[in-house]
Amino acid sequence: MTTPMLPGHPHTAYRGGELCIATQPLAALARQHGTPLFVYSKAAMLDALAAYQRGFAGRNAQICYAMKANSSLGVLQVFAEAGCGFDIVSGGELDRVLAAGGDARKIIFSGVGKTRSEMGRALQAGIGCFNVESEAELEVLSEVALSLGQRAPVSIRVNPNVDPKTHPYISTGLKGNKFGVAHERTLQTYQRAAALPGLKVVGIDCHIGSQITDTTPYLDAMDRVLDLVATVEAAGIPLHHIDFGGGLGIDYNGDTPPAADALWAQLLAKLDARGYGQRQLMIEPGRSLVGNAGVCLTEVLYLKPGEQKNFCIIDAAMNELPRPAMYEAFHQIVPLAPRDTATTVYDVVGPVCESGDWLGRDRALAVQPGDLLAVLSAGAYCMSMASNYNTRGRPAEVLVDGDQATVIRERETAQDQMRHERLVNTR
Ligand SMILES: *Cc1c(COP(=O)(O)O)cnc(C)c1O
């Protein structure tokens, strides 16, 4: 029997015809906890982190996990215990880091629309840095900090205007984009920041996009950011740290992103050549730390043959796997116990009442109702984007560590979903 290839999933493999993470047969976890079910490999997360740590060995560098990729507490705990900081984009994410035992001083706060209340809470928690994305935000942050008798540490997110050649919805460093301060306005913005009494300039930041599989956009962005560092410092505003954002891609379907340590060997060579190798460096990786550490287990409900298409209807949907509907993204879908029979080509779809609710198109599968499948590369931007559309409860999550499997989130019930709702009193 030929077993499918599992791109980029080093701790996931077929053993005796059964798909396993480490020593755990996934079918047993699916039977025990029900489907759809997310299962994460702790070893795969730590391996992904280790590639960055190797890349930065001997450097003054802080890795801040961009937690919007997967913000479940048990996942945050893995990274907090490994010494990571966190890149947050909301007050809710701040609460999660603190609940998971993360160090507030290693938090950086990104995002174009921070509210006054979020700024105030982050200042009171003592976070490391605000990545400010507009001049208007600088003014508000200064006011909020002064009202608390503080000076907010700030870095300005600059828009280097490089094309990361990824999906338009996940490219963030181009001119027509809502993110960052335009390259041409950087110096003015820093001068304003330096003049505001409630701010303390500490760094510079950029983030050009996501699922980047090529080294060139990073090298181009670094050149542009270092040019800006030189300009800003020549104007008498020292920058203590340089933050190069996140965005490194993963292998979903034969993608070949550079390994994190290989990418950083090239970037650090450039930094050294330009005389910035001793600066404090920050990075904000999300997807590349968790994406290929997770799978979503699902059961085949029905097979529905058709004239133009055959449909394989599964119990997972766009609720928990939103990337195909949002970005036409590809996830590998493989059986937990491959059958030795002929395959049929299916569109794999969920139960949600939307034509956009598909998980995979034109997939050759040998399946029967009741079979279990794994949707691969489901560790990033799946559970953290999950919704309750169609009043579907969000799935449970299990973290596998060697021969231990721990439920880090229970399945959501309809009662959980209705908890904050009230009927109108009619009488
Ligand atoms: C989303 C995001 C990241 C992480 O991006 P990945 O592609 O998941 O690595 C980093 N920094 C900022 C500001 C982000 O918005």
- What is the secondary structure of 337-404 as a DSSP string? S--SS--EEEEEE-SSSSTT-EEEEEEEE---TT-EEEE-S-SSSSGGG---GGGPPPPEEEEEETTE
pLDDT at position 169:
59
Q: Which helix (H) or strand (E) holds 281?
A: strand 280-283
* Amino acid, single-letter form, for residue 210: S
Is residue 154 within 8 A of residue 127, CB to CB? The reply is no
Q: How many CB atoms lie within 10 A of CB 120?
A: 17
Say if ligand 1 is within 6 A of residue 180 CB: no
183 Cβ below 6 A of ligand 1: no
Say if residue 2's pLDDT is above 70: no
- Asked whether residue 119 carries a pLDDT value surpassing 80, the answer given is yes
Mean pLDDT in residue range 28-40: 98
Looking from the CA of residue 211, the nearest atom of ligand 1 is: 7
392 in contact with ligand 1, CB cutoff 6 A: no
The residues that bridge with 66 in the sheet, in sequence order, are 87
Residue 286 CB–ligand 1 contact under 6 Å:
yes
**Are the C-beta atoms of 129 and 199 separated by less than 8 Å?**
no
Q: Which residues are catalytic?
A: 353
Kind and range of the H or E run holding 417: helix 414-418
Report whether residue 299 contacts ligand 1, using a CB cutoff of 6 Å: no
Compute the distance from residue 110 Cα to the ligand 1 centre, in Å.
9
Q: Which residue has tokens 């039977």?
A: 31
Q: What is the pLDDT of residues 219-232, one digit of tens each?
A: 999 999 999 999 99
* Residues 217, 223: Cα–Cα separation, whole Å: 10
Please name the residues in contact with 220: beta carbons below 8 A apart, sequence gap of 6 or more. 160, 162
Instruction: Determine if ligand 1 sits within 6 Å of the CB of residue 285.
Output: yes
Token digits of residue 57: 């060995």
Three-class DSSP category at 218? helix
Q: Are 164 and 188 in contact (CB under 8 A)?
A: no
How far is it, in rounded angstroms, from Cα 277 to Cα 31? 51
User: Which backbone phi and psi does 83 adopt, to 5 degrees?
Assistant: 95, 5
Cis peptide before 36 (omega within 30 of 0): yes
Mean pLDDT for 191-205 is 98
Residue whose C-alpha is closest to residue 233's, from 225, 223, 222: 225
What single letter denotes the amino acid at residue 427? R
Distance 89 CA to ligand 1 centre (A): 10
Any bridge partners for residue 303, and if so which? 312
Q: What is the pTM of this model?
A: 0.96
Alpha carbon of 187 to ligand 1 centroid (Å) = 24
Nearest to 84 by CA among 293, 265, 283, 377: 283
* For residue 166, pLDDT beyond 90: no
Q: 134, 284, 323, 377: which to mutate for ligand 1, most atoms within 8 A of CB?
A: 284
* pLDDT, mean of residues 307-323: 97
Is 68 near ligand 1, meaning CB less than 6 Å away? yes
> Does the CB atom of residue 260 touch ligand 1 within 6 A?
no
Residue 362, strand partner residues: none
pLDDT of residue 187: 97
In the predicted model, what is the mean pLDDT of residues 269-293?
A: 97
Question: Is residue 266 within 8 Å of 228, Cβ to Cβ?
Answer: no
Band of the pLDDT at 96, cuts 50, 70, 90? very high
CA pair distance 165, 153, nearest whole angstrom: 32
Tell me the C-alpha distance between 114 and 368, whole Å: 49
Q: What is the pLDDT of residue 25?
A: 96
Atom of ligand 1 nearest to the CA of 172: 15
Please give the distance, rounded to the nearest whole angstrom, from the Cα atom of residue 102 to the centre of ligand 1. Answer: 18
In angstroms, what is the span from residue 47 Cα to ligand 1's centroid? Answer: 19
How many Å apart are CA 109 and CA 88, to the nearest integer? 5
- With 60 as the cut, is the pLDDT of residue 1 above it? no
Residue type, 351: P
Q: Which amino acid is at 162?
A: V
- Burial code (b: 16+ CB inside 10 Å, e: under 16) for 250-281 equals bbbeeeebbebeebbebbbeebeeeebeebeb
Name 298's bridge partners.
373
Among the listed residues 120, 127, 170, 169, the one whose alpha carbon sits nearest the alpha carbon of residue 147: 120
- Residue 291 CA: which ligand 1 atom is closest? 8
Instruction: Judge whether residue 294 has pLDDT over 60.
Output: yes
Q: Which of 88, 110, 327 to mutate to test the pocket of ligand 1 (most atoms within 8 A of CB)?
A: 110
**Is the CB of residue 88 below 6 angstroms from any atom belonging to ligand 1?**
no
The pLDDT tens digits of the residues spanning 331-383 come to 999 999 999 999 999 999 999 998 899 999 999 999 999 999 999 999 999 99
